[in-house]
Structure 1
């Protein structure tokens, strides 16, 4: 029985600093879903909601996991958004965020990127988030 327990633990992704899941770099929905499933506690529900809103807003969106974060983009045109777990929030990055109206609230060291943080218990304005996603998907993507 101990062998089954250690095998189950071995298949569960490790959590890095801040509870961010360690998922191998890969293209497609499967690694993104593995990341979301491994997000700890309340953050997993946030990940599911973000993913569902993005997919509904941008049908056919291209997905990947890079640098232990899910990325969303238009195939062949680059990435427009990613998110990442931190200890107290989920950080959503819009790579061309300075071009969005209104701009997401938080600045980045990267000139064009803007952030949006979601803390436990925050109400997500799905209409605003979907508007940002739609706008971001229509801008030139980030090549990474």
Structure 2
């Protein structure tokens, strides 16, 4: 059992950490710690930004991705690691102003990609998070 405690999470294709489904801050912190390379620092920044912007945020890891929402109201944001970027998912993204740039197969969902060399516009991200929190959440 002691060996399991020190065992690193498996990285799935694209470098996304395989983290057991769970609710609360613990699974999110485990996911962020397992994010490879530069992505872990961005994960910490994103998590802190969401907490600062939405103090009553509810967190979970589902489908090997962090989810942020309001308990009982659904999810407004998720993210996922890929080889070259982190994909932020705004479930009601078409209702945000400005609309995040990357379209989805799901009509209301929009994505924002963060690459290693990008300057993270935290003011824009906080604005999107604030707007997304105010919309009806996605029930997953």
Partner of 2:98: helix, strand, or coil? coil
Instruction: Name the larger-Rg structure.
Output: 1
Question: What is the aligned residue count?
Answer: 139
2:122 equivalent to 1:129: no
Question: Gaps spanning 5+ residues in structure 1: where?
Answer: none
Q: 1:32 aligns with which of 28, 31, 49?
A: 28
Identify the residue that residue 84 of structure 1 maps to in structure 2: 80
Q: 2:51 aligns with which of 55, 62, 70?
A: 55
What displacement does 1:121 show? 1.2
Moved over 4 A (4+): none
In 2: Cα distance, 1:105 partner to 1:9 partner? 40
In 1: Cα distance, 2:120 partner to 2:15 partner? 21
2:78 equivalent to 1:99: no
TM-score, normalization by structure 2: 0.96
Question: Gaps spanning 5+ residues in structure 2: where?
Answer: none
**What root-mean-square deviation, in Å, do the aligned CA atoms of Structure 1 and Structure 2 show?**
1.3
